[in-house]
Structure 1
Amino acid sequence: MSKYSEQDLKYAAEFRDGIHKEALARVKTIYPHADRVVDPYPEDAYFQEVWDYPGKWYTMVGTPPGAGSRGNVVGIIVRETLAYYRNTGAAYTDDAFYQLIEKYPDAVCEYCIVNPENRYAITYNVFPYRGVDSHRFALGCAACELFEDGREWSYDIKGARHRKLSNKALFAPANSDGWLNYRKAFLCPPHGNTYTDNDFERVNAVLFPGGEEELEVYRWTTDWSEYFDEGHEWWGALCLTVYDKTLDRFVVIVASATD
């Protein structure tokens, strides 16, 4: 590191520290007591030597070579850090989201977060991630959790059919199309509520701390469980699985209601 000036070292430390803080904030949505991140890149990887006019090498601070954008580096560090906490046996919690959603008792949407520590994840072979198959298995985990493993509502996920949605479609305006989308389900239940778009954004900022770019979304038919029968009467029924690449977890969102 001696070949770099004190000013270069200062800039690199500040740049790296900012990336670490962003990554730690995401990790804390899973492990609220996390106090460190695991960065696979050494400090000197945040320097780049650039040949530029007038035929001279310049030292620049930036993301490690081959790592891509700043967002990519944050995502890599988040995944490395989550793996570290999982391997050390830390208690896996999602307190940040579940504590927040308790403040919205009139919400019809129900949520289930499926991660590698979910008690049904091993049974359903959800991880490692394998595309739409993992989405279906995550849906099975959620059905066990939300439907009390068939004791409250029967279900058969084999009958569920899927269609991939764009990231933007997940957060589309409530009246943007002819089906019951996620925002409409949250804001416009049959009996109404006082929630606003700001509430919707607040909930999803905690649920998906990495933003929408790294989400993979599937919408599923709702003919595979009697849970959805009430919604079929007129208001509608909703079933979504969302894989968050930055956190390596699924969020399953379901809704069904009547008057």
Structure 2
Amino acid sequence: MFDFVEYDKSESLRDRMDDAGCVFEFVVLSLETDSLVGEATHRQALNGLYDQIMKRAFDWHYDLIKCPEYADSPEPSLDWELEKAVATPLSDAEVASLMLTDNYARGPLALYGHFREPPYGTEFKSGESEAQALFHEWCDVLGLITNDDIEVINWVKGFQYKFTSNEEAIPGREPWSDYFDSGLEWWGVWCLTIWNPNHRTLSALIASTTD
């Protein structure tokens, strides 16, 4: 049995990312036992991420229905068929690419490119230096730290986009949540879990958006 506790540093970081226009949602959990971490544990982190997404969605809905014009708005819902998700562990080289910021591009594993350039852009008062500083802080909180022997699993590899080609598309590989519908139009989708044995943190990140 695994006990998870949300990592306190994530709250202020999440607010600053939201203020800048970043579209990633994430959760960071602390593993309290010395038990081994396997794929099932990573899936538990994704369930924790689902809980985080729905909490924020219901908080938003609660504020929305205070306005009489939107009083009858339906409650948020999200299909989350995690049993259909396929785990694809990343190689050491792929993990290293997640943390790159110099000469970035929005490739399949260019995390900074998607952090920096959602469809409607991001705004950082101090420009690129501030953007990179916030990204590196986020990586630290997630446990994406060089030389920490981290394990990263990709849960959305091979999905087919609707309006653009995807060279990595895998025939028959279907999205396991409608959360990914908007990102699969063209911008892309993300869903990773990250185990850092040195910090004993297990994090999960997700993103899906369009214009």
TM-score bracket for this pair, using the shorter chain length: 0.5 to 0.7
Partner of 1:252: 204
CA deviation string 1:108-162 (max 9, x = no partner): 0111123347xxxxxxxx9833322321232223223324599521111111112
Q: In structure 2, what residue type is equivalent to 1:160?
A: A
Structure number with greater CO (CA < 8 Å, separation at least 6) is: 2
2:10 to 93, 97, 107: 97
Q: 2:144, 2:150 within 8 Å by CA — same for their partners in 1?
A: no
Identical amino acids, percent of aligned pairs: 26
CA deviation string 1:82-118 (max 9, x = no partner): xxxx9xxxxx56332321331222110111123347x
The 5 A counterparts of 1:31-180 are 94-105=7-18, 106-116=21-31, 128-147=35-54, 152-165=77-90, 166=92, 167-173=95-101, 174-175=104-105, 178-179=107-108
In the TM superposition, structure 1's runs of 4+ consecutive aligned residues that sit over 6 Å from their partners are: none
CA deviation string 1:145-198 (max 9, x = no partner): 3245995211111111121113313213442x7425321221110000124223
List gaps (5 residues or longer) in structure 1.
1-85, 87-91, 118-125
Q: 2:28, 2:142 within 8 Å by CA — same for their partners in 1?
A: no
- C-alpha separation in 1, matches of 2:8 and 2:48: 19
Q: In structure 2, what residue type is equivalent to 1:99?
A: S
TM-score normalised to the size of structure 2? 0.64
Q: 2:78, 2:178 within 8 Å by CA — same for their partners in 1?
A: yes
- C-alpha separation in 2, matches of 1:153 and 1:181: 27
Q: In structure 2, what residue type is equivalent to 1:191?
A: Y
- C-alpha separation in 1, matches of 2:144 and 2:108: 26
**RMSD of aligned alpha carbons:** 3.0
- C-alpha separation in 2, matches of 1:251 and 1:213: 14
Q: In structure 2, what residue type is equivalent to 1:171?
A: M
Partner of 1:204: 139
Deviates more, 1:193-202 or 1:248-257: 193-202
- C-alpha separation in 2, matches of 1:183 and 1:100: 16
Structure holding more helix per residue: 1
Number of aligned residue pairs: give it.
Answer: 160
- C-alpha separation in 1, matches of 2:40 and 2:34: 10
Q: In structure 1, what residue type is equivalent to 2:180?
A: F
Q: 1:153, 1:225 within 8 Å by CA — same for their partners in 2?
A: yes
Q: 2:10, 2:141 within 8 Å by CA — same for their partners in 1?
A: yes
TM-score normalised to the size of structure 1? 0.53
